[in-house]
Amino acid sequence: MASKELNIQNKKARFLYHLRDEFVAGIQLQGTEIKSIRKGKASIMEAYCVMHRGELYLRNMYIAEYENGSFYNHKPRADRKLLLNRKEIKKIEKFLKDQGNTVVPLSMFISEKGWLKVRIACAQGKKIHDKRQDLKERDDKRSMDRAMKR
């Protein structure tokens, strides 16, 4: 549908969290939000998911106001409902009951049918030593690749 590929990602998520299960969810949008997203004026870096009355909402996702929207414009940081199967919602709700667990968005993309989708993951926060270990492994891999290249 769209001529330009949508590439909105949360690059920090894999560094800050141990990712468990991944899901692809639809997202319920208001009016001019999809127009701003198609222009790439959205961010999911600070976003996270919350359960409210048995439904999953994406909180703190930023979508810039559409410049031609006039008084029909949306709120930039409103809560947005995620569309999942009941079975998936129950699984996420069970995961969120434990202390220290969260659900974070990984990326946003437009499906083949033209619908906006969000890839979310159940996650547990990493400790400082886990982050240091990841950095060390990444540096070791880079140095090995350099040595192999020579």
**Residue-range domain boundaries for the chain:** 8-149
Contact 125, 12 (CB under 8 A): no
C-beta atoms surrounding 118 within 10 Å: 23
Calculate the CA 86 to chain-centre distance.
20
Percent of the chain at pLDDT above 90?
Answer: 54
Asked whether the predicted pLDDT for residue 150 surpasses 80, the reply is yes
pTM: 0.81
Supply 124's token pair.
């547990």
The dihedral of CA 87, 115, 101, 135: what is its sign?
positive
Angle at Cα 69 formed by Cα 108 and Cα 63, nearest 5°?
25
* Stretch 138-150: mean pLDDT: 91
pLDDT at 4: 60
Give residue 144's pLDDT band: very low, low, confident or very high (50, 70, 90): very high
What dihedral angle (degrees, nearest 10) is formed by the CA atoms of 37, 77, 122, 113? Answer: -30
Residues 11-37 pLDDT 10s:
888 888 999 999 999 999 888 888 888
Residues 78-120 pLDDT 10s:
899 999 999 999 999 999 998 889 999 999 999 999 899 999 9
* Fold of domain 8-149: Small Protein B; Chain: A; (2.40.280)
Spell out the residues 6+ positions from residue 24 whose beta carbon is closer than 8 angstroms to its own. Answer: 117, 118, 119, 120
Supply 128's token pair.
């400082």
